[in-house]
A and B are shown apart, each in its own frame.
Chain A
Amino acid sequence: MGANAQTSVPVFASGEVLTAANQNLSAGTGVPVFATTVTRDAAFGGAGEKVLAEGQLAYIEATDVVQYYDGAVWATVGPATAGALVLVSATTIGNGVSTHTVNPAFSSTYDNYLITISGGVASGSVDLSLQLGATTTGYYAGYSRVNYATGSASAASNNNAASFTAIGVGTTNSLHAFVNVLSPNLAKNTNINGGYGITLAGSSSSVFAGFLNDSTQYTAFTIAPSSGTLTGGTVRLYGYANS
């Protein structure tokens, strides 16, 4: 039990002497601190103790959380448990840019990442490419597409290319990308996969997967249109929690 932990929450009767010990207990803790939820529950409602009621706060040492009582049960205020998918960065694409770099992006905190792009526009109908760091060789990927109108399939590939050339799509209506990036900061090959629907009637959906054939531990990435420029929209980078 820590120095701030208490075993009762006193209440004072009319005319009762407020002792230094009482005052210290009240003023020194602010939110009452308890070793466990058991000592928390035992601290209310007894003789000379405050009646537990809606709005009561408490800090629990055992689990390092702040709780509130809603009139029926205790609920945790925080800290919020980190989710499985954690936002690492969100950057807004500028006006009329030809490349958009996020740096720093990848680190040892996460093995795997998700990049999304939404909002914004391109100056025309474009593919969006992905480059890791300053590497301009060794990109391998396959792209499988199905035409909306005909249902016919087509394919494209990167074979030792200068980037992953079609990880997203841009039109004068919008930008879209959804790319899993696996192991970019590990001393391993980086693997990617994802998909999107090209936002033009008569066009195609696309799914893809590929890898970058080196063991560089990347910390940055660059998005670029196949022609023209990008304006607006948000590039978000999420980390998949390792545990």
Chain B
Amino acid sequence: MTYKVQINETVRDATPEEAAAIDAAHAEAEARAQAAADKAAAAASGRAKLVKLGLTDDEISALLGA
């Protein structure tokens, strides 16, 4: 994929090395986003299980601090 990079007011096509760095940064960001989504899903699942055990939302929030 062709990327454009900008230095001050000058825009040019990325070099192969710069393009590889951008690809790597995007892949890392995607992995971070997926990890955050997985963490949020796990938290939601855990909260649902606590509800099934009879805890109220207020009790769960007080317990978890969130």
> Which residues of chain A have a CB within 8 Å of any CB of chain B?
89, 91-103, 127, 129, 136, 152-154, 156, 162-163, 165, 224, 226-227, 229
Determine if B51 is an interface residue (Cβ-Cβ < 8 Å). Answer: no
Known: A152-B66, A224-B22. A97 touches B4 (CB 8 A): yes
Chain B residues with CB under 8 Å of A156's CB are 32, 36
Classify chain B: how many residues form its interface, as a range.
20 to 34
- Residues of A within 8 Å of B39, CB to CB, are 154
Nearest to B21 among chain A residues (CB) is: A136
Q: List 22 A-B contacts (CB under 8 A).
A: A94-B4, A94-B6, A96-B4, A97-B6, A98-B3, A98-B4, A98-B5, A98-B14, A99-B3, A99-B6, A99-B18, A101-B5, A101-B6, A152-B66, A154-B36, A154-B40, A154-B66, A163-B25, A165-B28, A165-B32, A226-B26, A226-B32
- Asked if B9 is at the interface (CB within 8 A of a chain A CB), the reply is yes
User: Residue A153 contacts which of B22, B33, B66 (CB distance < 8 angstroms)?
Assistant: B66
Known: A94-B11, A226-B25. 14 other contacts (CB 8 A): A91-B9, A93-B6, A97-B4, A98-B5, A98-B22, A99-B3, A99-B5, A99-B14, A103-B7, A153-B66, A162-B25, A224-B25, A227-B29, A227-B30
Residue pair A95, B8 in contact (C-beta under 8 Å): no
Q: Indicate whether A165 sits within 8 Å of B29 (C-beta atoms), given known contacts A91-B9, A98-B22, A99-B22.
A: yes
What B residues does A93 contact at CB under 8 A? 6
Of all chain A residues, which has the CB nearest B36? A156
Q: Which residue of A lies closest to B18 (CB)?
A: A99
Is there contact, CB below 8 Å, between A227 and B26? yes
In the complex, what residue of chain B is closest to A104 when comparing beta carbons?
B8
B residues in contact with A153, CB < 8 Å: 65-66
In the complex with contacts A97-B4, A153-B66, A224-B22, A127-B29 CB distance below 8 A? yes
Please state if A226 and B29 are interface contacts (CB–CB under 8 Å).
yes
Residues in B neighbouring A95, C-beta threshold 8 A: 4, 11
